[in-house]
Amino acid sequence: MDNLVLVGSPINRDLYDAVKSHPNIKNVIDIDLSPVGDPIKPGMTDWEMTQKFPRLVSQMWGKTGHFYYSGEGPEFDARRDELARDLVARGVR
C-alpha cells in the first residue's frame, strides 16, 4: 500500500482532492494538529491559509501548534516517537 502522510499540511482543496484521488496514492493519512492548536489543515482555501499566517509565526517561536513536532530535545523526540507509533498502527511501514 502506498501512503501519503499529511502532518498539518497547508495544501488547498484542489491539491487535497487531487492527492486523494490519485491512482498511485492508495491511502491518504491526514494528521490533524488542531487539538494542539494548529490553525492549518488540508483543504483550506488559499485565503484561509493566508489569514492564519500571523498565528503560525507566533507558533514557530514556541514550537506549538503547527510546529508541534519540530523542536529539539526529549519532549519533541517523545512526540515524534508517538507519531511514528501511530503511523505504524495505521499501516505505514
DSSP symbol at 73: S
Structure confidence at residue 46 (pLDDT): 87
Domain ranges across the chain: 3-89
User: Distances in Å between the alpha carbon of 11 and those of 15, 17, 32, 84?
Assistant: 6, 10, 13, 22
Structure confidence at residue 38 (pLDDT): 94
User: Distances in Å between the alpha carbon of 68 and those of 21, 58, 62, 75, 84?
Assistant: 28, 12, 9, 10, 14
Please state the rounded mean pLDDT for residues 44-49.
89
User: Distances in Å between the alpha carbon of 67 and those of 2, 5, 30, 64?
Assistant: 26, 16, 16, 5
Q: Which amino acid is at 17?
A: D
Q: Answer whether residue 1 shows pLDDT above 80.
A: no
For residue 19 the three cell numbers come to: 492527492
User: The whole model's pTM is what?
Assistant: 0.81
pLDDT in tens, 49-89: 899 999 999 999 888 999 999 999 999 999 999 999 999 99
Structure confidence at residue 10 (pLDDT): 84
